[in-house]
Amino acid sequence: MEKEANGNDRVLVIFAHPDDAEFTSGGTIGKWALEGRKVSYVVCTDGSKGAETDRIDTADLIATRQTEQRRAAVILGVTDITFLKCPDGELVDNRGISAELTRMIRVLRPQTLLTWDPWRPYQLHADHRVTGYAALDAVMAAGNPRYFPEQLVDGLEPHQVEEVYLFGTDQPDIWVDISASFDLKVEAIRQHSSQIGDWGEVIQHVTEWNSRVGRDKGFAYAESFKLLQPRCSICR
Ligand SMILES: [Zn+2]
């Protein structure tokens, strides 16, 4: 991978809800952070639908979920988090979210971007679909100065993401060995205690899931993704 002149090897993870990144990609994120990569998070929604009761105060729930997200990020070695605070369950794919994600890419300048696969059939959660589409629109826009030119002030320049890893995909073509970072992933997931009913069930599910994904590739544990290379001319 070509790296920036300053040696940075940056990763940006764009996801819909607090806990999405840890469940889908926590092992990969933890592994890359251990290798010295600088990982940033953008969380699109406020997580305010993350309780199946109306007896919890919404502001308290949002605050709890942000706290849990920050703790999980620290465990994985994520360096910074941006909360866009769009209402949970109501994310809309409009120019506003695409513009903001484009600006974040131009500011953070990642080589690698992780986000939801918006094309997965029967993906029920609208926020996951919208996040994936908006993040990919932003990848295409960020490298071209003719998109959102009003952002290109005070030294902010276009930036081309080199590779996109889509998580939650049904068409994986790249596998990451997370055997050395699986314990970190589990510990990060554990921080989202407001979302966890039976911890034993959750850990069993995650263990079986990631070991099943790794089995065919000879890894104890793995996460799988669909890889896109936006700069590749035949991919456009
Ligand atoms: Zn989610």
Query: Which segments in the chain show pLDDT lower than 70?
Result: 1-8, 233-236
d(CA 165, CA 173): 10
Quickly list DSSP for 90-120: ----SHHHHHHHHHHHHHH--SEEEEE-TT-
Q: What local confidence, expressed as pLDDT, does residue 236 receive?
A: 53
Q: What local confidence, expressed as pLDDT, does residue 116 receive?
A: 98
Give pLDDT tens digits for 116-157.
999 999 988 999 999 999 999 999 999 999 999 999 999 999
Q: How far is the CA of 26 from the centre of ligand 1 (A)?
A: 14
Q: What local confidence, expressed as pLDDT, does residue 54 receive?
A: 80
Q: How far is the CA of 19 from the centre of ligand 1 (A)?
A: 7
d(CA 62, CA 169): 28
Note whether 176 and 27 are within 8 A (CB): yes
Q: How far is the CA of 146 from the centre of ligand 1 (A)?
A: 32
Q: How far is the CA of 44 from the centre of ligand 1 (A)?
A: 10
Q: How far is the CA of 131 from the centre of ligand 1 (A)?
A: 10
Q: How far is the CA of 2 from the centre of ligand 1 (A)?
A: 31
Q: What local confidence, expressed as pLDDT, does residue 231 receive?
A: 82
pTM of the model: 0.94
Residue-range domains of the chain with CATH: 10-235 (3.40.50.10320)
Q: What local confidence, expressed as pLDDT, does residue 233 receive?
A: 56
Q: How far is the CA of 20 from the centre of ligand 1 (A)?
A: 5
Q: How far is the CA of 82 from the centre of ligand 1 (A)?
A: 16
Q: How far is the CA of 157 from the centre of ligand 1 (A)?
A: 31
**What residues are neighbours of ligand 1 (ion), with CB under 5 Å?**
16-17, 20
d(CA 167, CA 171): 10
Q: How far is the CA of 229 from the centre of ligand 1 (A)?
A: 24
d(CA 236, CA 45): 29
Q: How far is the CA of 234 from the centre of ligand 1 (A)?
A: 31
Q: What local confidence, expressed as pLDDT, does residue 4 receive?
A: 47
